[in-house]
Amino acid sequence: MDYIAALRGRKALVVTVIVLAAIVVVNAIFHLSMDSTFHIAPSFADLSRMKGSVTTHEVLPNGAKETIIANKALGRRVVIVDRGYRGTTVHETSPVTKKPQKLGSSSGPLFTDLKTTDGKSYKETMRFGGASDIGYFWYAALVVGLVLATVLSGTFSSENDGHLEMSFMRPQSREHLAIRAIATDILTILLAELATVIFALATVAVYIEVRPTISGSTLATILLNLLAPIAWYAMLLAATASLRGGRGLVVGLAWPLALILPGAFSGTAGNVLPIWKAVHVFLVPLVRLDPLWYMQNFSLTPKTVALGVTLGNTVQPVLAGLSMLALLYFVIAVLQWRRMEA
């Protein structure tokens, strides 16, 4: 661990924890000040006001509040079971329409949604709260990780700017100093992401019961949200390793460029105009050097995308691509820094 990088990392972690704690406190105050009639379940007020709708309320033996909204003329029936802090379940039944209705299931950090049909009616069951894949909370950590990666990426550049003589007087090789600084910054990013997951769980727990679970996709999701900020940090480190000033401009321009490249790449894919074909071919190697592109193409289910050539873009290629990209940028950064002269 590098002492200077550790001091910088500790300061970044303290600021991060303070901001995250403030978010939890603000949400707790907001929750305490909410009107008692507030419900997490979707509002069906429009249906309850329609002609022919009948709304009934009942308290179930387990203490849950059940609301039933039924409209026989429309063929719609909604049952909302509000268990308070333990979550809410909504069952909705409606007639099958001529327009195709999407069936299947989906899930998010705090909900599951199941859509089925028996040919005569369309049924949807939504559950809010309860068991939730811990992997979803790492997407919040991804944002914090990318921000910290951006802030810490000027490690070599700041050493070049008036501190290079002192750096090279240390009783270690330049490569050793570089590796220690990089390892310390990576540890800072990982600790910040872990803290974010903990505070994200605490924030959600202010409103509703959360039971973190682990699924087959949890590990892949966590690895993505750990590797992406590290690859982003490595790219910015390589871009600023030989600079003595102006690193803010380089880092500032990196964000819009990294976001624009994937969009431009997708926009030119399949275009028949020769000029756009040429632009697309030019963008093929560039997007593969952009960590944000790999993040956009992360999928837990196998799929194929056009990259000039067909590539089966699944979890493994994305994680492998981010790992190799990070290693490549780290090597470039260290090679640049060891050539710097005071």
pLDDT at residue 298 in the model = 63
pLDDT at 250: 78
Residue 312 has a pLDDT of: 38
Q: How confident is the model at residue 219 (pLDDT cuts 50, 70, 90)?
A: confident
- Look at residues 331, 333, 325 and name the one whose alpha carbon lies nearest to residue 231: 325
Mean pLDDT, residues 13-30 taken together: 93
Average pLDDT over residues 48-69: 87
- Residue 311: strand pairing partners: 305
| Whole-angstrom distance, CA of residue 25 vs CA of residue 206 | 9
Instruction: Answer yes or no: is pLDDT of 2 > 50.
Output: yes
Residue scoring higher pLDDT (35 or 50): 50
Of the two residues 41 and 248, the one the predictor is more confident about is: 248
| Closest by CA position to 178, among listed 156, 194, 196 | 156
- Average pLDDT in the 109-125 region? 83
- Summary mean pLDDT of the chain: 79
Higher pLDDT, 282 or 185: 185
pLDDT of residue 164: 55
User: Model-level pTM?
Assistant: 0.74
Tokens for 333, please give them. 């950064």
Amino acid identity of 84?
G
In this structure, what token pair is assigned to residue 297?
Answer: 């193409």
φ/ψ region of 105 (left if φ > 0, alpha if ψ in -120 to 50, else beta) reads beta
Query: pLDDT tens digits, residue range 22-43?
Result: 999 998 898 787 654 455 445 6
In this predicted model, what pLDDT tens digit does every residue of 150-201 receive, in sequence order? 998 888 777 766 555 555 556 667 777 888 889 999 999 999 999 999 999 9
What is residue 20's predicted lDDT score, i.e. its pLDDT? 95
**Predicted pLDDT of residue 226:** 93
What is the share, in percent, of the chain residues with pLDDT greater than 70? 76
Tell me how far apart the 2 most distant CA atoms of the chain are, in Å: 85
Mean pLDDT of the 60-71 span: 88
C-alpha 268/C-alpha 270 separation (Å) is 6
| CA 127 to mean position of chain CA atoms | 22
Surface-to-core class of residue 290, CB atoms within 10 Å of its CB (0-12 exposed, 13-18 middle, 19+ buried)? buried
Least reliable range by pLDDT among 10-24, 86-100, 182-196, 252-266: 252-266
